[in-house]
Amino acid sequence: MTREPRDKRMTIDEVVGQLRDGMTIGIGGWGPRRKPMALVRAILRSDLRDLTVVSYGGADVGLLAQAGKIKRLVYAFVSLDTVPLEPLFQQARQADTIPEVVELDEGMFQTGLRAAAQRLPFLPMRAGLGSDVLVHQDWIRTVRSPYDDGEELVAVPALPLDVALVHLNRADKHGNATYLGPDPYFDDLFCMAADRAYVSVEQVVDTAGLTVDTPVQRLLLSRMMVSGVVEAPNGAHFTTCTPDYERDEAFMRHYAWSAGDPETWQAFADRFLGGDEAAYQQAVQDWHAERAAAKEGK
């Protein structure tokens, strides 16, 4: 007798209900690309605090820092691409409101995830040698190769996660998930480095539908990696989720402009972040409609 894999579908709020103060949370995606923003916005609405956030950062880091949710931040960069430095993160760093920051080389960050995924305390690599990463993170050690070369290498510490949050294009109800865009980023490493992983997707489909007209190698996550699946259409907004949608550049620039002043930021937060996810999506639609009407009226 065969047993059907369990149904792991959850709501956004059910996922956030699994999180606890002080957890280490890895957030997948890459800067302004395929971030699990619906889940991030739900964390903003919650009472969670004292989080360690591990991220190739974008607006996820900026929003959580501005809200005072982050106790420790481990990151390789925090950028919106066309806005080179995420504005809320910039403010938090300049005001020194994040109690502890760990800035790593991008390769070191990836290696830390790989070490955690393999349940190793560290992995050696050359990246970081001779850089200010080791000056400012002087707790990171080097090791000497035990072989004849005797080479000095950086012992990149593992980045173990309590929880990983990622966003992909499609998944089935069991947790198998696929990306359809140009890059998997490191979402699989985030999930393997975590005790539990939750994936939000644009659409939950039948298992057989995951590979229809899609190369099998794009099946990034297996159900063994995933604790919960959330169907969240447009859940990466305003970041990309190619090919379902590209980055909402106009709205992102409105976000960045609003962050420049406390009064305009409060108006932005009241309008777009004061309600649940459905309210957010509606508010964004209304903003675009108003913007289009204003252009027509000129």
Whether residue 6 is contained in a domain is answered as no
Same domain for 139 and 203?
no
pLDDT at 5: 78
User: How many separate domains does the chain show?
Assistant: 2
Provide CB contacts within 8 A for 137, sequence distance 6+: 102, 103, 104
Single out the residue of 135, 111, 133, 140 nearest to residue 124, CA to CA.
Answer: 111
Q: What is the mean pLDDT of residues 175-193?
A: 96
Residue 221, pLDDT > 80, answer yes
- Whole-angstrom distance, CA of residue 109 vs CA of residue 191: 15
Residue 264: inside a domain? no
Give the pLDDT of residue 212: 74
Same domain, 127 and 18: no
> In the predicted model, is pLDDT for residue 2 greater than 70?
no
Domain containing 138 equals 122-157
Average pLDDT over residues 33-60: 98
* Domain contains 93: yes
d(CA 217, CA 214): 8
Same domain, 132 and 51: no
Taking 90 as the threshold, does the pLDDT of residue 295 lie above it?
no
Pairing between β-strand 70-78 and β-strand 51-57 as defined by DSSP bridges = parallel
- Judge if 183 and 250 occupy the same domain: yes
Residue 277 lies in a domain: no
Non-local (6+) Cβ contacts of 203 within 8 A are: 169, 170, 231, 233
Shared-domain flag, residues 133 and 28 = no
pLDDT value, residue 215: 65
* 88, 222: one domain: yes
Please determine, for residue 117, whether its predicted confidence score (pLDDT) is greater than 80: yes
pLDDT at 208 over 90: no
Q: Output 129-134 pairs: Cβ under 8 A, ≥24 positions apart.
A: 129/153, 129/154, 131/105, 133/103, 133/104, 133/105, 133/108
Question: For 1-5, 33-37, 206-210, 237-241, which range has the lowest pLDDT when averaged over its residues?
Answer: 1-5
> In this predicted model, what pLDDT tens digit does every residue of 135-161 receive, in sequence order?
999 999 999 999 999 999 999 999 999
- What are 231-285's pLDDT values in tens digits? 999 999 999 999 999 999 999 999 999 999 999 999 999 999 999 999 999 999 9
Please check whether residue 69 lies inside any domain of the structure.
yes
pLDDT above 60: residue 1: no
Domain annotation covers residue 153: yes
Same domain, 171 and 152: no
Q: Using 50, 70 and 90 to split pLDDT, how confident is the model at 162?
A: very high
CATH number of residue 209's parent domain: 3.40.1080.10
Mean pLDDT of 122-145: 94
Residues 59 and 24 in one domain: yes
84 and 190 assigned to the same domain:
yes
Q: Is residue 216 very low, low, confident or very high in pLDDT (cuts 50, 70, 90)? A: low
User: What's the pLDDT score for residue 218?
Assistant: 84
pLDDT score for 296: 82
Distance CA 59, CA 37 (A): 8
CA dist list (Å): 256 to 81, 83, 154, 179, 265: 12, 8, 36, 28, 9
Average pLDDT score over residue span 78-82: 96
Among 164-178, 210-224, 225-239, 277-291, where is mean pLDDT lowest? 210-224
- pLDDT, residue 3, reads 67
Does residue 58 form part of some domain?
Answer: yes
Statement to judge: residues 138 and 226 lie in one domain = no
Q: How far apart are CA 155 and CA 122, in angstroms?
A: 6
Q: Are residues 168 and 83 part of one domain?
A: yes
pTM, two decimals, is: 0.95
* 285 within some domain: no
Are residues 178 and 108 both part of a single domain?
yes
